[in-house]
Structure 1
Amino acid sequence: MKRQHFNINDDTMYMLSVENKGLTECRVGEVYGNGFHCLTSPNKILEKNCRQYSQSYPARKELTKKLTGLSAKLPVIIDLFGSIIFFCTHSDRVMENNWFNIKHIHSYRNYNGNTRVRFNNNEEIEVDISFTSFNNQYLNALKLHYKFNLEKEKFEYSEMAKYKNSAPSGNYMTDITSTNDKVSDVSYKAYLQYISGGKMNDLA
């Protein structure tokens, strides 16, 4: 039985476009199980999940542009904390576009002009894209992962420093424990505001 939609999760490895009677549907691969089919295209599934997890798909693309300087075939962060990053094989204007979760790719190689992808669970699939193009898209996703976490660490460090500098002094060990707990909470809340667009204009 085919699904109309599904929620992308940490175990989602890929979303491949499948043509069915002139319509573009999706084959989903997950770490466990045999995968399944959706009646919706990979692009539409990704767009809806961006809204469910955090922001709109255009906002996710804008974040990628600001962080990486890339302008086309943009990888995107699905969730708030950068743990789910997908990259595409074609332009998102193409319905036959495919999406891959970078964390589950073990290796890939040239295979008769296409690309043979092996995942961490040992599943292998052939993708209709050249090795060079697939490699570029994979490296772009790695760049997004690195830049996002670099900015995240810089922001959290800045928030921690501001809070610690303003924290009252008293019993040293008690202050350290109490301050660290409060810093984590403050950093978390500030980060949610930050990634939701509060400070995007400050990104280089």
Structure 2
Amino acid sequence: MINNVYLTSYEVTPLTMAIVADYDDNGDPRTIVLEEQEKFIVHKSPTKIIEDACKFFGSSLKGRQEGTRGICGITHKAPISIDPSCGMYFFPTASPMKPKCSWIAHSHVEQMNQYPHRQTEFIFKNGWTMLLDVSFGSMLNQVQRTAQYRYLLDNRLKYVQRNNADMVAEPYA
């Protein structure tokens, strides 16, 4: 892992693996962002970083959560798609209203392992690992719910692309 880089803001990309709630030595909240080749420390909450990413792609976190509810009925700790065309699907580790909520990129998770004391180890596709204070059962459920949501949304998008390939939106004359 490359040395810590401190930022005041961060833009989520397909390289983003995890957006993790953390605290500095003074107990002040901060976020650790893991990318495939780099680690950043950002002075914003994880959920604020996710909210900014949703806005960058033309929605809001609430809008993305409502979309998840409409597609597959998930109402609590809903996974979201920041940008489905780039495969950016994230799931929260707790209620996004809680400061300890972290966000994990579904496509980067290779494996998870159960640890004692309600901890879960995430192993990412690049080989990096991360241990979080979250229940393994809850995280297994989050991964499965995200996979289901991803499947349903991807199928809808493919259907629209197949059936509307010849239709182009044009302004009224």
Q: Secondary structure at the match of 2:6?
A: coil
**TM-fit CA distance, 1:4:** 0.8
Secondary structure of 1:14's counterpart equals: strand
Q: Tell me whether 76-85 or 56-65 shows the greater mean CA deviation.
A: 76-85
- Which has the larger helix fraction? 1
Map of 2:66 onto structure 1: 62
Contact 1:76 1:87 in 2 (8 A): yes
Q: Say how many residue pairs are matched.
A: 164
Alignment of 1:93-104 (within 5 A): 93-104=97-108
Question: Residue 153 of structure 1 aligns with which residue?
Answer: 158
- After the TM superposition, list the runs of 4 or more consecutive aligned residues in structure 1 that deviate by more than 6 angstroms: none
Displacement of 1:68 after TM fit? 1.1
Alpha-carbon distance in 2 for matches of 1:37, 1:12:
13
For structure 2, the residue ranges without an aligned partner over 5 or more in a row are none
What code does the residue aligned with 1:17 have? A
Task: Give the unaligned 5+ runs of structure 1.
Answer: 164-182, 191-204
Specify the structure having the higher radius of gyration (Cα).
1
Give percent identity, aligned residues only: 24
Q: Aligned equivalents of 2:164 and 2:6: distance in 1? A: 46
CA distance in 1, matches of 2:29, 2:142: 22
Residues 1:118 and 2:123 are matched in the alignment: yes
Hey, what's the Cα distance between the residues in 1 that align with 2:96 and 2:147?
Answer: 19
What SS does the corresponding residue of 2:83 show, helix, strand or coil?
Answer: coil
Paired position in structure 1 for 2:143: 138
Is the contact between residue 75 and residue 140 of structure 1 (CA under 8 Å) also seen in structure 2? yes
TM-score by length of 1: 0.76
Contact 2:84 2:154 in 1 (8 A): no
Residue 106 in structure 1 maps to residue 114 in structure 2: no
